């Protein structure tokens, strides 16, 4: 595994542009609800751009993506995988006006 052949800025810029297009389409079809992003470390790959709530909030801010369009769906086990408590991820999302939904499941603390 190497980052030698990865242009991370380009990947992030393309993802930011894609998400802006998704938001544009949402408005075009008249959808009024939020689009939910679920911070998810290590799934499906080891390195993720949506690792935790803080990474997603930073991404949204960097690419000018509105909280009216995008919110976070916080999931207990993904918080654990990111090395945070479920409460921490929820509190961070609330503090940054980004909480959209909570995925309530038991998860597996052994992961």
- Torsion angle, CA of 73/75/78/83, rounded to 10 degrees? 100
Indicate whether 106 belongs to any domain.
yes
Partners of 102 in beta bridges: 74
**Mean pLDDT over residues 67-92, rounded?**
94
> For residue 9, is it within any domain?
no
Query: What's the whole-model pTM score?
Result: 0.88
Let me know if residue 91 belongs to a domain: yes
User: Encoding tokens for residue 12?
Assistant: 């992030």
Q: Give the relative orientation of helices 53-62 and 8-28 as an angle to the nearest 10 degrees.
A: 80
User: Domain tally for the chain?
Assistant: 1
pLDDT > 90 fraction of the chain, expressed in percent and rounded: 71
Distance CA 73, CA 14 (A): 22
Domain-located, residue 111: yes
Angle between helix 86-95 and 53-62 (nearest 10): 20
Residue 15 is assigned to a structural domain of this protein: no
In a domain, residue 88? The reply is yes
Q: Which domain holds residue 70?
A: 35-111
Residue 41 is assigned to a structural domain of this protein: yes
In the block, tokens 């959808």 appear at: 31
Within a domain: residue 52?
yes
Instruction: Tell me the per-residue pLDDT of 92-105, one tens digit each, with 9 for 90 and over.
Output: 999 999 999 999 87
């Amino acid at each position: 595994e190497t980052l030698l052949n990865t242009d991370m800025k380009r990947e992030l810029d393309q993802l930011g542009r894609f998400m802006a297009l998704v938001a544009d389409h949402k408005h075009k079809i008249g959808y009024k609800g939020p689009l939910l992003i679920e911070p998810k470390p290590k799934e499906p790959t080891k390195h993720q751009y949506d690792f935790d709530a803080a990474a997603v909030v930073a991404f949204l801010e960097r690419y000018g993506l509105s909280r009216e369009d995008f919110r976070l769906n916080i999931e207990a086990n993904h918080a654990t995988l990111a090395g945070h408590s479920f409460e921490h991820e929820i509190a961070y999302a609330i503090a940054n006006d980004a909480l959209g939904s909570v995925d309530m499941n038991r998860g597996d603390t052994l992961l």
